[in-house]
C-alpha cells in the first residue's frame, strides 16, 4: 500500500514530532485572529500614539497662538498723538482718512476716529470738528 508524504504512517511533520518525543498537536497550530471584543496590543499602542500626537499638535498650536502676537493686533492700538479736522462739503470718514495719508488700513483708522469722537455710525456732517489720529 502507498502512503502519501506527510501521513502518520510514513513520517512527515506529525510523525517526526512523535518520533522526537513531542506531542503531535505542537507541530501545527492553526492561525487564530485576536478576539473580536478587544483589539490587539499593537492596535492599542498605535491608537494611543496617534492620540498623543494629536494632543501634542493641539497643545503646540495653542501655545504658539498665545505666545506669538499677531500682526493685526499691532494695527489696532490707538495712536497717542491727535489732530483736529473740520469736515468739508461732500466729505466722509473714508475720504478724510484717504487724504490724511495714513500708512495703515483705512478701516482701522476709521474705527479709531469713531471711538475717539464717540460716533455710533460713520455719518459726519459738514462743519463738524473731528479728532483724528496723527499721521
pLDDT in tens, 55-78: 999 999 998 888 887 655 555 555
pLDDT value of position 24? 54
> Is the confidence at residue 54, as pLDDT, over 60?
yes
Q: Let me know whether 39 and 28 are in one domain.
A: no
Q: Let me know whether 40 and 64 are in one domain.
A: yes
Q: Let me know whether 92 and 120 are in one domain.
A: yes
pTM for this model (two decimals): 0.41
Q: Count CA within 13 A, CB hemisphere, residue 76.
A: 5
Q: Let me know whether 9 and 54 are in one domain.
A: no
pLDDT value of position 13? 52
Q: Let me know whether 126 and 83 are in one domain.
A: yes
Q: Let me know whether 26 and 48 are in one domain.
A: no
Q: Let me know whether 53 and 89 are in one domain.
A: no
- Which range has the worst mean pLDDT, 22-31, 55-64, 70-79, 94-103? 70-79
Structurally, the chain folds into a number of domains equal to: 3
Q: Let me know whether 94 and 115 are in one domain.
A: yes
Exposure string for 71-93, b = 16+ CB within 10 A, e = fewer? eeeeeeeeeeeeeebebeeebeb
Q: Region 17-32: what's the mean pLDDT? A: 61
Rg (CA), the chain: 41
The H-assigned helical ranges of the chain are 12-19, 41-67, 71-75, 93-100, 106-117
Amino acid at each position: 500500500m502507498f502512503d502519501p508524504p506527510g501521513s502518520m504512517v510514513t513520517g512527515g511533520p506529525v510523525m517526526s514530532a512523535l518520533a522526537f518525543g513531542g506531542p503531535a498537536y505542537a507541530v501545527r497550530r492553526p492561525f487564530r485572529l485576536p478576539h473580536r471584543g478587544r483589539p490587539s496590543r499593537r492596535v492599542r499602542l498605535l491608537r494611543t500614539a496617534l492620540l498623543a500626537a494629536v494632543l501634542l499638535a493641539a497643545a503646540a498650536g495653542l501655545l504658539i497662538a498665545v505666545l506669538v502676537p499677531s500682526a493685526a493686533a499691532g494695527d489696532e492700538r490707538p495712536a497717542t498723538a491727535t489732530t483736529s479736522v473740520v469736515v468739508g462739503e461732500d466729505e466722509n470718514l473714508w475720504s478724510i482718512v484717504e487724504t490724511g495719508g495714513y500708512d495703515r488700513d483705512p478701516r482701522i483708522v476709521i474705527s479709531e476716529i469713531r471711538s475717539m469722537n464717540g460716533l455710533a455710525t460713520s455719518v459726519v456732517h459738514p462743519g463738524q470738528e473731528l479728532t483724528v489720529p496723527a499721521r
